Amino acid sequence: MSLRRVKALARKEFIQMTRDPLSLIGALFIPLMMIFLFGYALSLDVDRIPTVVLDLDRTPASRDLIHRLADSRYFRVSQYLDAPSEIDAALDSGRALMGLVIDSGFAARVKAGRSAPIQAIFDGSDSNTASIAIGYLKAVAAEYDIDLQGARLRRAGMKIADMPIEARIRVWFNPELKSKNFIIPGLTAVVMMVVSSLMTALSISKEKETGTLEQLVSTPLTSGELMVGKLIPYLCVGLIDMAMVVCAGIVIFGVPFRGSYLELLITALIFQIGTLSWGLLLSVVSKSQTQASQLAMITVFLPSFLLSGFIYPIENMPWVLQAITLIVPARYFVEILKGLFLRGVGLDYLWPQTLALLLYALLVLNLARKRFSKRII
């Protein structure tokens, strides 16, 4: 391989980029736009659930329970109702996700020490939110019940014994369980996988459409030199994109970065080489830019979004899909970024994922080199 020829081709690609400023600006800022769009729109936090209340008891005890719900960050009491039929209307219209009914006689049952049931009606069309809201409601009700039991014992002059088992929970790496801390590192991997592969997927296919591939064929460039020469400029752009997206995650979204920036650079470099090489392979086998972009979206976006563990835990997938995730490079980079961002671990723990990305990059780059032939197809 001649470094002089590779350098000349890379310089030619850089010049070609600057002659198309719109595409260059898009390559630099589309990742930021995607991270902002998905980062703000995609949230797994469930709080301030719109709730309507039908209080048929209207006593201090019922109001105390309602205030406990409203004072938590999980529920937002948006309306007090006067009739049961209004709950149906609120749920049907989407104004509320939960309707709470406190029957008459609630306070009397509480005072007598009897069971005082309340009814909660949920909008199950959003099953995830509904199931989480049910857990929140049970927790608030359980805390209210413990306080009532304690007050009853104190009135009777009895000492409240300590609970035999007390769970002291400590959450590492993401103490506040913010979904942004979980989403942004994974989103970074998915966005960079999509954008980088799409950039190079249009490279050789564009040369085919414009006819400039004939000029490259007439040069003494080997297929390996052509692949590397075309890879270098996009690798530089991809690393700049990666730096901007990581900075946005840290500065704007407040995601902590506890790892080594040098190890981030090393793993990002390996990941970018593999991703860009896949785009080159798609560009080689495609006959047009349209076909190349379609192949990139099908083979990159969907697997990266659905099978990388970015949102859906791989452990919960059927075993067939779990096996398929082993060939999705975004899976390994998602694990690396979460390790660097949140856990603060290094390559001493992340070397298996890094090795998998390195093998993927070498394999795909070699496939692209072998698939490219110095003739117009």
Q: Do 54 and 24 share a structural domain?
A: no
> Three-state SS for 53?
strand
The structural domain count of the chain equals: 2
Report how far residue 159's alpha carbon sits from residue 153's, in angstroms, rounded to the nearest whole number.
7
- pLDDT value at position 217? 66
Q: Do 242 and 332 share a structural domain?
A: yes
- pLDDT value at position 113? 78
- Of 233, 269, 195, 230, nearest in space to 372 by CA: 230
Q: Do 234 and 340 share a structural domain?
A: yes
pTM, whole model, 2 decimals?
A: 0.83
- pLDDT value at position 159? 65
* Contact status, residue 104 vs residue 59, Cβ threshold 8 Å: no
- pLDDT value at position 375? 44
Sheet strand arrangement including 49-55? 75-80, 49-55, 98-102, 119-122
- pLDDT value at position 285? 85
> Three-state SS for 89?
helix
The enclosing domain of 146 has a CATH number of 3.40.1710.10
Report how far residue 377's alpha carbon sits from residue 374's, in angstroms, rounded to the nearest whole number.
9
- pLDDT value at position 163? 55
Q: Do 256 and 120 share a structural domain?
A: no
Domain range for residue 61? Answer: 49-155
Q: Do 109 and 31 share a structural domain?
A: no
- Three-state SS annotation for 232-282: HHHHHHHHHHHHHHHHHHHHCCCCCCCCCHHHHHHHHHHHHHHHHHHHHHH
- Phi, psi (deg, nearest 5) at residue 98: -145, 140
Residue 18 located in a structural domain: yes
Instruction: Give mean pLDDT in consecutive 10-residue pieces for the chain, a chain of 377 residues.
Output: 82 84 85 90 83 93 92 90 91 92 91 86 89 90 83 68 68 87 92 90 78 70 82 92 95 94 96 94 86 89 90 90 95 96 94 97 90 56
